[in-house]
């Protein structure tokens, strides 16, 4: 039996000696590679925080002391140390272990965060509440993996500095990367500290001192503090953290577990807000991750060969690839196109544009608000920015889209990757909100391509708009074969037409293929059906509204929340035009979806062909029954 098998909770770590802790760290890394190789998941970040997480759980008493992980994908080791190692066989699978902290799983998880740059605000609130309630509890916020590039962390730091009596320890996990290499002035500042040889000398000196004593008394702390303060003044006058009024400890080698413990103990004893600056290496201990230049195997999409780190599944063309190729082609044709992303250069496919046009590519870090307004500024100066981020992360920049881009009629194009049901990463990553909140933005145009050919076509149309924001939403995963229309009528494509004008199905984006299957099922029931792809779903085209008048029942199907989405906008447009037709709006229910494969989730929420056809058939039957009753009443009169 290994040491990991003997860990049922954090208190089991207390009696381990240094050698046992090193052995346990090795077992944890082996366990991570083995389990994640079968399920996929966030590998690189967790390999980098093994010793750090061990130290946190040895110094602090979770769950009495609260631990908040900023980018929650780095909490795998925390889960293992809090009694959940046996559940990793179903990591990120339906009904299994979440890839992020989860209140339902453990009392050790308080914040289910998986969007970055939020932990310090949570922690500030927790610490202040404990002071008010007179509870002697520490709060540890683990921030890093790029989260310090987000503006919200600095808003929080500004307030934390004023809370002198809150027992808040901020652990800056400085691995030099977020999803990929962290960018910006702050990142460069931390990199200068991390790479300066004088700091390495100090770290070595401090480490040797700490190893010669079991208890760090005031004299040794004074030496450590004086060395650090003098060196920091020489390297970076007016050090950023202490200028905010926050006590600073570090930098500490994040893979030297005793050294991290010593630093955390100092911070714990201080009694006020303290920052502990820890240097780690993403992917440490697993050669394929260490050598992976792109992102140190930040997130592995599925099962992989543990020997090589290579995915086992054959590589299919994904939606992101199509966008990447077309944007590079557009960049070669037009020198006014620039690319902007928020720490998502590789996941969104912008790396291709960056390789071809580095001077026209801007990664602003985990700062979606800045990305949108910066793009608006570029548009005001005559460029056409293409901003590529995940659909779920655009939630954070709604005000910037509304007031900074749309109000000023800025020609920017937002390409939202991972739109719709994404599945494995759970409720925070499903892109199910964008087509609802974007409906309220005046002048904005929104498209949901049904296939790769439409993505290329609509991207080109989008970047030709210079007086309003345009948005393209792109699903996750393999792109389906191109679906050719029967004909294009005005602003929409007719995808299928048969029989009488019973049902009009307005299919949005990737739901077109599903709706074609629905149409076949309806035809088999003798129901006439027309399926159209509206192409640009905002604004609703008058052509489409006119088409609804020719059908008895109007059905909309979208991979977005039902409330306020495309179906709701279509119904409103019909009402405004005086068109009175029964409507059915199908979409994602307004609840947070549990993790699971996309196909399974779509089946659960009724967005697959069979349940859709069944409900539409029942509605048609009800209409037929109402018509029959009306005719009988008329005849008897």
Catalytic annotation, residues: 282, 368, 396
Distance of CA 456 to CAs 113, 335, 463, Å?
34, 18, 11
Cα end-to-end span (Å), the chain: 87
Closest CA to 309 of 321, 301, 320, 318: 301
Nearest-5° angle of CA 573, CA 575, CA 579?
Answer: 100
d(CA 505, CA 485): 14
292: cis peptide before it, omega within 30°?
no
Distance of CA 236 to CAs 154, 193, 218, 608, Å?
19, 8, 26, 58
Closest CA to 299 of 388, 191, 418, 140: 418
d(CA 160, CA 207): 29
329-333, long-range: CB within 8 Å, 24+ apart, which pairs? 330/459, 330/460, 330/463, 331/356, 331/357, 331/360, 332/356
Contact yes or no for 444/537 (Cβ under 8 A): no
Distance of CA 214 to CAs 14, 202, 262, 263, Å?
15, 19, 9, 13
d(CA 490, CA 493): 8
Q: What is the DSSP letter of 70?
A: S
d(CA 416, CA 372): 12
Q: Which two tokens stand for residue 239?
A: 């050090």
Q: Is the dihedral of CA 598, 603, 606, 608 positive or negative?
A: positive
d(CA 71, CA 343): 13
Contact yes or no for 441/434 (Cβ under 8 A): no
d(CA 65, CA 141): 11
């Amino acid at each position: 039996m290994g040491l990991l098998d003997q860990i049922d909770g954090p208190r089991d770590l207390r009696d381990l000696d240094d050698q046992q802790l090193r052995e346990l760290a090795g077992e944890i890394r082996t366990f991570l590679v083995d389990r994640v190789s079968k399920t996929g998941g966030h590998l690189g970040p967790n390999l980098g925080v093994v010793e750090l997480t061990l130290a946190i759980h040895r110094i602090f008493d979770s769950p009495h002391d609260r631990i908040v992980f900023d980018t929650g994908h780095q909490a795998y080791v925390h889960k293992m140390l809090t009694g959940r190692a046996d559940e990793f066989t179903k990591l990120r699978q339906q009904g299994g272990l979440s890839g992020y902290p989860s209140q339902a799983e453990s009392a050790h998880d308080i914040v289910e965060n998986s969007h970055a740059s939020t932990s310090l605000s949570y922690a500030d609130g927790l610490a202040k509440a404990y002071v008010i309630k007179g509870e002697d509890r520490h709060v540890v916020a683990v921030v890093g993996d790029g989260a310090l590039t987000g503006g919200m962390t600095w808003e929080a730091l500004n307030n934390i500095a004023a809370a002198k009596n809150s027992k808040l320890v901020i652990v800056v996990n400085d691995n030099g990367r977020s999803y990929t290499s962290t960018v910006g002035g702050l990142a460069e500042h931390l990199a200068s500290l991390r790479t300066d040889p004088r700091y390495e000398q100090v770290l070595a000196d401090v480490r040797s001192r700490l190893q010669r004593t079991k208890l760090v008394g005031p004299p040794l702390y004074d030496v450590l503090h004086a060395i650090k303060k003098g060196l920091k003044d020489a390297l970076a006058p007016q050090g950023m953290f202490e200028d905010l009024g926050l006590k600073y400890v570090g930098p500490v080698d994040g893979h030297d577990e005793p050294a991290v413990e010593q630093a955390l103990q100092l911070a714990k004893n201080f009694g006020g807000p303290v920052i502990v600056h820890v240097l780690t290496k993403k992917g440490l201990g697993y050669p394929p991750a260490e050598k992976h230049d792109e992102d140190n195997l930040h997130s592995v999409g599925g099962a992989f060969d543990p020997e090589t780190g290579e995915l086992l599944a054959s590589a299919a063309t994904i939606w992101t690839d199509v966008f990447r190729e077309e944007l590079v082609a557009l960049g070669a044709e037009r020198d006014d196109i620039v690319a902007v992303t928020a720490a998502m250069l590789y996941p969104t496919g912008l790396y291709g544009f960056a390789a071809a046009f580095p001077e026209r590519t801007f990664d602003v870090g985990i700062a979606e608000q800045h990305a949108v307004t910066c793009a608006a500024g570029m548009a005001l100066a005559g460029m056409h920015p293409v901003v590529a981020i995940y659909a779920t992360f655009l939630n954070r920049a709604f005000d910037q889209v509304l007031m900074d881009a749309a109000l000023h009629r800025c020609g920017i194009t937002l390409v939202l990757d991972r739109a719709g049901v994404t599945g494995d990463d759970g409720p925070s990553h499903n892109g199910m909100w964008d087509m609802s909140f974007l409906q309220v933005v005046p002048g904005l145009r929104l498209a949901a391509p049904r296939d790769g050919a439409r993505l290329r076509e609509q991207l080109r149309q989008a970047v030709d708009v210079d007086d309003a924001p345009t948005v393209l939403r792109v699903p996750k995963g393999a792109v389906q074969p191109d679906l050719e229309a029967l004909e294009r009528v005005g602003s929409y494509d007719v995808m299928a037409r048969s029989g009488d004008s019973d049902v009009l199905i307005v299919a949005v984006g990737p739901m077109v293929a599903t709706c074609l299957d629905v149409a076949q099922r309806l035809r088999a029931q003798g129901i006439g059906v027309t399926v159209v792809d509206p192409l640009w779903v905002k604004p609703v085209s008058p052509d489409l509204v006119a088409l609804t008048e020719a059908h008895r029942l109007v059905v909309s199907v979208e991979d977005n929340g039902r409330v306020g989405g495309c179906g709701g906008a279509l119904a409103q447009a019909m009402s405004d035009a005086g068109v009175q037709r029964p409507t059915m709006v199908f979409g994602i229910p307004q609840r947070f979806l549990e993790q699971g494969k996309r196909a399974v989730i779509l089946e659960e929420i009724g967005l697959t062909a069979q349940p859709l056809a069944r409900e539409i058939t029942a509605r048609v039957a009800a209409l037929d029954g109402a018509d029959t009753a009306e005719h009988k009443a008329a005849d008897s009169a």
